[in-house]
Amino acid sequence: MVAQSPKKIHLPKTSESESLQKIRHTASHVMAMAVQKLFPKAQVTIGPWIENGFYYDFDSPEPFTEKDLKAIKKEMAKIIRRQLPVIREQVSREEAEQRIKAIAEPYKLEILNDIKEEPITIYHLGDQWWDLCAGPHLESTSQLNPDAIALESVAGAYWRGDETKAQLQRIYGTAWESPEQLVEYQRRKEEALRRDHRKIGKELGLFIFSDLVGPGLPLWTPKGTVLRSTLESFLQKEQLKRGYLPVVTPHIARVDLFKMSGHWQKYHEDMFPMMAESQDAKEHEQGFVMKPMNCPFHIQIYKSELRSYRELPMRLAEFGTVYRYEQSGELGGLTRVRGFTVDDSHLFVTPEQLDDEFLKVVDLILSVFESLRLKNFKARLSFRDPDSDKYIGSDDAWEKAQGAIRRAVETLGMNYFEGIGEAAFYGPKLDFIFQDALDREWQLGTVQVDYNLPERFDLEYVADDGTRKRPVMIHRAPFGSLERLIGILIEEYAGDFPVWLAPLQVRLLAVGDEFLPFAKQVVEQMQAIGIRAEVDLSGDRLGKLIRNAEKDKIPVMGVVGAKEVESNSLSIRARIRNEAGNIQSQDVGSLSVAEVLERLKQANETHGNF
Ligand SMILES: [Zn+2]
Ligand SMILES: [Zn+2]
């Protein structure tokens, strides 16, 4: 593919743009009319607009083919050119029923039965075609641009999403204001496919899924494990510098622990079913559950001794694996899984220490993002929805906690917005929302202020005046979870990891077998200083060795021949980002082995380039 320079076209989102909604609604009707013109036996069911386009579900005896889609698209262009007015009509329920019976479309009758209001709204395209619809639409088909519409795919669907009901065919389409927007949308879609972490993860051999293990439960291969542990030790090191104390806690616990924390009451549905020794135990909710969160465990460690104000802030940290019973339909790749590892920490602080500790946590998160080269993010103040009852704790505690978060972002002058209703059930959060090269948003790190769990677990410390006081908790996870972060990083880097993160950093390519001993000896020198290096032992010719190393996206390749052996050097090719933002391997030239070692060491320490 030819490298394209990144274009700056803003794609409006359907949710923001009423005009896009109208375009897509109208385009979907035009498509349905075209389908019924070409396939008179096809029956129309539902056809809403969606985030990037629209779809319609049809009951049709023959599955639609690629060729059919082309014909439908052509017919749509004809309808558009006929400049049919889009006419809104309101009729009584009886009248609607009559008209549906006249065209013999039973699905419409079912849809009509679901519409509670009267009169019933009908939309006509000219006097040719109509459907039940609440709108809104354009005024005429002429306002659609056939060159800004594409029909994308056909998929099976069931009437009302119910497998026992009729099998339907869903045609997906996309429609925009201009052909330029369509092209940009298609470019992004293709780019998203190219960067898809599920595809790249497989190609690079980082993780697998197994049907026998179960959906949403990734298994990490040796390469993926290197990537994970590199991330873990990086953060571990940063945390130790900042006074965090590592802990390890079990994966299961008594239900009682989660009753006390409130997870059992508020979070039950997302937890794996309880393991109980007997039916009786089960009925009395006397069993064990997989942990959905690490907090209550760290609280037990805090509570195991009477703490003094001198010990605070106490920052307990764990790469804690948790389990959540996500619906299997929601699972896909690493961004939504059933078992994942949180770079979790709980800070127990005095109320006076809260603001300062919160700022320090944000500072840590920002420095982590910098090392990971994640630049484009904003902060969301995830507050509670005052009208909902899904939260625990007093109004006063919530006010205090939300106030602390607001003060922090204001002090730091961060770019932020408010997300009402996005809080955890026990406290508000500051979430970092990362926007990738394709304008997609991902939630990464999070910090939460919590006055509620200390209350529920009756946490205390002895203050300097000898009285017992209640600490405040901060929950935080800069990565969010290792699984999610790695999924996002794979997509952001399109599989081209910076040197410090690459599972394999260097591969040496010998131009002949006689140079293998030298190459092996250089690899040993590299390994001795913690560089992940190997020699390609396949015996292939140089061209193939280079192509394979490129395919494996190895950041540094060192070619070894007679000249290199003689001068104790390596002929280096490195993967370097070009102006268009694409990574390609380029000749760096001949460097002494000592120089290569030094550069690799530097790249590891500073997280910079080779
Ligand atoms: Zn409509
Ligand atoms: Zn927590």
Distance 452 CA to ligand 1 centre (A): 47
Element (H, E) at 415: none
Distance 55 CA to ligand 1 centre (A): 11
Phi and psi at 152, nearest 5°, equal -100, -45
Distance 28 CA to ligand 1 centre (A): 7
Distance 423 CA to ligand 2 centre (A): 13
Buried b (16+ CB within 10 A) or exposed e, 254-282: ebebbebbbbbebbeeebeebebeeeeee
Distance 312 CA to ligand 2 centre (A): 18
pLDDT, residue 5, reads 40
Distance 158 CA to ligand 1 centre (A): 20
Neighbouring-strand partners of residue 342: 320
* Cα 322 from Cα 320, distance rounded (Å): 6
Give the pLDDT confidence of 425-464 residue by residue, as tens digits.
888 999 999 988 778 888 889 999 998 899 999 999 999 9
Distance 360 CA to ligand 1 centre (A): 52
Question: Could you write out the DSSP letters of every residue in 25-60?
Answer: HHHHHHHHHHHHHH-TT-EE----EETTEEEEEEE-
Distance 267 CA to ligand 1 centre (A): 38
Give the pLDDT confidence of 77-134 residue by residue, as tens digits.
999 999 999 999 999 999 999 999 888 888 988 898 888 888 999 999 998 899 998 8
Phi and psi at 509, nearest 5°, equal -120, 115
Distance 367 CA to ligand 2 centre (A): 21
Distance 25 CA to ligand 1 centre (A): 5
Topology adopted by domain 207-251+291-493: BirA Bifunctional Protein; domain 2 (3.30.930)
* Cα 496 from Cα 172, distance rounded (Å): 32
Distance 134 CA to ligand 1 centre (A): 6
Distance 345 CA to ligand 2 centre (A): 7
* Cα 259 from Cα 448, distance rounded (Å): 20
pLDDT, residue 583, reads 85
pLDDT, residue 3, reads 36
- Alpha-carbon 254 to chain mean position: 31
For CA atoms 331, 333, 336, 338, give the dihedral sign: positive
Ligand nearest to the CA of 318: 2
DSSP E strands, 185-311: 207-208, 219-220, 245-246, 252-254, 288-290, 307-308
Ligand nearest to the CA of 135: 1
Ligand nearest to the CA of 345: 2
Distance 233 CA to ligand 2 centre (A): 21
Ligand nearest to the CA of 297: 2
- From the list 15, 28, 114, the residue with the least C-alpha distance to 72 is 28
pLDDT, residue 330, reads 66
Distance 32 CA to ligand 1 centre (A): 11
Distance 409 CA to ligand 1 centre (A): 43
pLDDT, residue 329, reads 65
Ligand nearest to the CA of 49: 1
Distance 24 CA to ligand 1 centre (A): 8
Q: What is the dihedral of CA 580, 582, 587, 588, to 10 degrees?
A: 80
Distance 427 CA to ligand 2 centre (A): 10
Ligand nearest to the CA of 23: 1
Residue corresponding to tokens 């052996």 = 565
Distance 144 CA to ligand 1 centre (A): 14
pLDDT, residue 585, reads 85
Contact 227, 501 (CB under 8 A): yes
Kindly give the parts of the chain with pLDDT less than 70. Answer: 1-9, 329-330, 580-581
Tokens at residue 91, please?
């009729």
Query: Residues with beta carbon < 5 A to ion ligand 1?
Result: 25, 133
pLDDT, residue 542, reads 95
* Cα 610 from Cα 594, distance rounded (Å): 14
Distance 86 CA to ligand 1 centre (A): 10
Ligand nearest to the CA of 28: 1
* Cα 562 from Cα 193, distance rounded (Å): 43
Cα–Cα separations (whole angstroms), residue 114 to 132, 380, 558: 11, 38, 68
Give the pLDDT confidence of 282-323 residue by residue, as tens digits.
888 889 999 999 999 999 999 999 999 999 999 999 999 999
| Residue 380, amino acid | R
Which SS3 state, helix, strand or coil, does residue 575 take?
strand
In sequence order, which residues have a C-beta less than 8 Å from that of residue 361 and are 6 or more positions away? 347, 447, 474, 476
Ligand nearest to the CA of 320: 2
Taking the domain 18-181, which CATH number applies? 3.30.980.10
Taking the domain 506-606, which CATH number applies? 3.40.50.800
Distance 294 CA to ligand 2 centre (A): 6
Ligand nearest to the CA of 344: 2
Distance 26 CA to ligand 1 centre (A): 6
Distance 30 CA to ligand 1 centre (A): 10
Pairing of strands 252-254, 288-290: antiparallel
Distance 14 CA to ligand 1 centre (A): 15
In the chain, where the domains are located: 18-181, 207-251+291-493, 506-606
pLDDT, residue 456, reads 93
Phi and psi at 227, nearest 5°, equal -60, -50
Q: Enter the DSSP assignment of 351.
A: G
Residue 14 CB-density burial (10 A; 0-12 exposed, 13-18 middle, 19+ buried): middle
Distance 262 CA to ligand 2 centre (A): 12
Q: Enter the DSSP assignment of 9.
A: -
pLDDT above 90 covers a percentage of the chain that reads 72
